[in-house]
Structures are given as C-alpha cells and as structure tokens.
C-alpha cells in the first residue's frame, strides 16, 4: 500500500514521522510479525505539523482497516471497568482450564493470562491438536508453574474454537463461555 497527500504537502520529515508512528502502533497492536529489522527514527517536527500528521495517521488507519487489513487495530477496544465486567465471559473447567474472553466483531478473544487445560482428551480432533500445538510452538501458550498460560490476548475465529483450545476437548463455545452471573454466551447474544 502506498499513501500520498492530495496536496503533495508531505516532506521527508513528515514521512519519517508517519513511518515511525505506524511502526510503533503495529508493534503495540501485535497482530502481525513485523519483518522490519530497524525501528524507524521519529523526526522532529513542529507541534502544528505533528497534529496534522496525527490526523493523516488516523486517515491511514481508517483506510487500511476499511480495506480489511487489521494491522493497526487493537483486538479489543478500550472499555470502562463496568463494560469489562459486562462483556467478559469465563470458562473454569477440568484439567486446569481457567480462562476469560470477550466477543468482538472479528471473533472471540481469549484474554492474556488465561489458563489452558494442561492435557487434551483422546477424542480431541486432530486439527485442534495441531492448532493447539502451533500456539505452544509459537510461544503464545507457555508453561508457567506447571500450568499452560496464554501470554497475550489471542483472537479465535469463534467462541467454540476458543473454548476447544482452552478446554482441550471439543466444545460448544455458545454454552461453555459464561458471564459471572452464570448466563451463557448464547443467551446474551440472543438479546
């Protein structure tokens, strides 16, 4: 993707500023592996230019997102404490599964520090076994104090996919994920 200014008013300092900020945002969001070996230096620009570049940056983020690339978009939006409480679902199940997660418009996000079942059932489908192992191999799930723990928020395609990985067995995420008050995800979604 290439971005240009309609007024052709971007100079080298503006471009360096934008590159540095976009790299900073992509690293913070952590959705993709960045192959840029260097951290782009941020140029010093005036306060008014900085404000203009931040507006340009927001337009870039909006356009990139609209084109379907989520490189600059957080997995979860900032929430108040009340919103977090009302939107967080839990699984507390056998073999050490103790996880929290939230629905998003992209799928289901299992939250950082969730505990994943230490073992899997014999009937766990092979594709889920491979997927779980890839999360372990990629150090997204790591062993800490004899427990498997998710070290960062992770987006799953569905609540059932998230529940299956968390529980180490086939699972219906619509009934396994529950709010603190005991309501299942299916009941909440149907409202």
What H or E segment, with its residue span, contains residue 110?
Answer: strand 108-110
- Per the listing, tokens 């192992």 go with 133
Residue 51 has what pLDDT? 93
For the chain, the structural domain boundaries read: 12-66, 81-189
Q: Average pLDDT for consecutive 10-residue bins of the chain (191 residues)?
A: 80 92 88 81 90 92 88 78 85 93 90 95 94 94 93 93 96 94 88 69
Burial class (CB in 10 A: 0-12, 13-18, 19+), 89: buried
| Tokens read off for 45 | 């620009």
- The dihedral of CA 129, 133, 135, 140: what is its sign? positive
| Tokens read off for 165 | 């990985």
Compute φ and ψ for 3, nearest 5 degrees. -115, 135
**Between β-strands 98-103 and 108-110, what pairing exists: parallel, antiparallel or unpaired?**
antiparallel
Cα–Cα distance for residue pair 117/96, rounded to 1 Å: 5
Burial class (CB in 10 A: 0-12, 13-18, 19+), 118: middle
**Between β-strands 115-116 and 89-92, what pairing exists: parallel, antiparallel or unpaired?**
unpaired
């Amino acid at each position: 993707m290439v971005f240009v200014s309609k007024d052709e008013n971007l100079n080298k300092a503006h471009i360096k500023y934008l590159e540095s900020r976009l790299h900073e945002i992509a690293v913070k969001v952590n959705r993709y592996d960045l192959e840029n070996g260097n951290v782009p230096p941020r140029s010093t620009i005036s306060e008014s230019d900085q404000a203009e570049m931040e507006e340009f940056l927001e337009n870039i983020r909006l356009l990139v997102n609209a084109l379907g690339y989520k490189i600059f978009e957080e997995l979860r939006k900032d929430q108040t404490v009340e919103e977090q409480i009302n939107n967080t679902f839990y699984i507390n199940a056998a073999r050490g599964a103790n996880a929290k997660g939230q629905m998003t418009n992209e799928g289901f996000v299992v939250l950082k520090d969730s505990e994943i079942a230490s073992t899997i059932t014999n009937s766990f489908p092979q594709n889920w076994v491979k997927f779980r192992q890839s999360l372990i191999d990629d150090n997204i799930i790591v062993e800490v104090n004899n427990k498997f723990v998710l070290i960062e928020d992770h987006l799953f395609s569905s609540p059932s996919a998230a529940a299956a990985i968390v529980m180490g067995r086939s699972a219906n995420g619509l009934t396994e994920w529950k709010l603190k008050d005991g309501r299942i995800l299916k009941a909440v979604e149907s409202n």
